Chain A
Amino acid sequence: MEPILAPKSIDLIALAPVLVLSVFAMGVLVLDLWAGKNKTLIMFVSLVGLLMTAISAFAKNPIPAFAFTDSYIVDHLSIFFTCIFTLSSAMAILLSSDYNEREEIKVGEYYALILLCTVGMIVLASSTDMIMIFLGIEIVSICLYVLAGFKRDDPVSNEAALKYFLLGAFATGFLLYGMTLVYGSTGSTNLFKIAEFVKTQGAQSNPLLLMGIVLLIIGLGFKVAAVPFHMWAPDVYQGSPTPVTAFMSVGPKAAAFAAFFRVFAETIPEMAPAWEMLLCSVAVLSMFVGNLGAIMQTNIKRMLAFSSISHAGYLLIAVIAKSSLAGSGLLFYMLTYTFTTFGAFGIIILLGRKGQENLEIENYSGLAYKHPILAISMTVFLLSLGGLPPFAGFVAKFYLFSAAMEEGFVALVIIAVLNSAISFYYYLKVVVFMYMKEPAGEFQISLAPMTLFVIIIGIIGTIDLGIFPDSIIALTNIP
């Protein structure tokens, strides 16, 4: 047996974002002992921590750099993803501050958990070893199980946490078994070594490896909520506290897609004939089930859950297309998705109040008469999610789909475009309620400043990325 050697040099600079954020997360936990009931200070420290993390992501030069015997990579993809994660977590924390006050969630661990979850996402997006991918996924998931059930006295939130936990742990079993079989058939957990093995040994027809890949698709497919592994998403999205729903529909999903892209598009593209058809069917199913399911929903959080399932379908196209252009498309799509999703959830939070969250689409009737600016913002977010120019969602879809066209996946792109058209039905349904129905009752909206701030960032991001996408697209280009 080969001896287990300690890594020769432990590159802490490469690990800087993870270390900085972990220190801040634990600092927040300790600080919480003295902070008392007012969590403003904790929130501020968390935001500073996220900012420092985003800055320290650029500490390693030159890229790509490797650390811990090639199991951790700092490259373009991981740095850009780190920025998306910190942005989304910062927006989630801003959304939470007002919401938690309203719902009387006066626990500082909430912020620490969001930070730790972000640590997991960064690990996940930067890992090039299956052990690290597994660890990253579990750090993210365990934090999210707790966050989903954070309203301890609310049976709905409890139930969401339980369902998420049981199905998440179940999916982890599949993911692990898949990793084990891939490990057993290639002899390494390192993605580079697996890639080399597949290239040189021509392991395309090794049944153990194929089985492992199928199980990997199940495990990762669960984490991104792709059909047929999506059953948890609507329930968990509906039951979780709204800022947590926004958080889990962006960051963890982006992280899981980073792992998806690294494993399938970068490590085993040679085996594409084996997994391409499978992923294609998962993508197509996700789009149809997501969009058709969303049409039938009356609860807006459930509707956005189904919409996020369909977005997982679109994003899988990037993995299937495999090219570096598709990778850039994935990055840009995730960035625009961050802005629009957090904006939309910000408005959902504003419309609720203690004890009555107003989550039915009917509650939006006549919003345009009372609060025209909020109604316009919501319209912008929903149309951007649907992919209407000139908003960011259109550019993101266009970019992603054209990358897939270049690789020759015409049928897949046609199905995706068709599905975008279907999606307008339910996005516009909300708009119709807001503009064309009489108000059912009084809106009691207290314009919470932090939530408004997030909505404004969302609007700026959505419109700016839609009209002037060039500079960001240049940044997403993977050299």
Chain B
Amino acid sequence: MFEGTVPLAHYLTLSAVLFVIGIAGVLVRRNVIVVFMSIEIMLNAVNISLIAFDHYLNLSNGQIFSFMVMCVAAAEVSVGLAIIIALHRNKPTVNLDEFNLLKW
């Protein structure tokens, strides 16, 4: 099997950096859609480390896991967008700060 010259640590670092970018996006941005995209970045960061672990440790569970993550992410997207559309019908905005009927 092909053994890459890029060490595992690099993949893990990439994944960690992407994950942190995702967290920062969720915490900093106020646009619902962008926050939503940042969450997807977090999930994909996880996928990178799952696949990297699999490749370097000769395992196989992680690949199945990453497929599950993708499936669930797709289901989550459909529900999430539906919620955003329902919300948009009642209040035409995507700014998180304007959703303040309930105290945060």
Contact = CB atoms under 8 A, between A and B. Distances in A.
A460 interface: no
Residues of B contacting A: mostly = helix
A187 interface: yes
B53 to A, nearest CB: 4
B99 A162 contact: yes
Contacts of A239: 101-102
Interface string A397-435: 000000000000000000000000000000000000000
Interface string B80-93: 10111011001100
B75 interface: yes
B17 interface: no
For chain B, give the interface size range: 35 or more
Interface string A110-135: 00000000000000000000110011
A173 B35 CA distance: 13
A184 B68 CA distance: 17
B60 A4 contact: yes
B5 interface: no
- Judged by DSSP, the binding face of A is helix
Given A4-B64, A189-B61, A173 B43 contact: yes
B85 to A, nearest CB: 10
B86 A158 contact: yes
A1 B65 contact: no
A173 B42 contact: yes
Contacts of B59: 1-2, 183, 187-188
A106 B45 CA distance: 41
Contacts of A235: 102-104
Interface in B8-25: 12, 19, 22-23
Given A142-B72, A180-B53, 9 more contacts: A4-B60, A138-B76, A161-B83, A162-B32, A162-B83, A162-B87, A163-B104, A173-B19, A188-B59
11 contacts: A1-B54, A2-B59, A142-B75, A153-B90, A159-B102, A162-B84, A180-B65, A183-B65, A187-B57, A231-B104, A238-B102
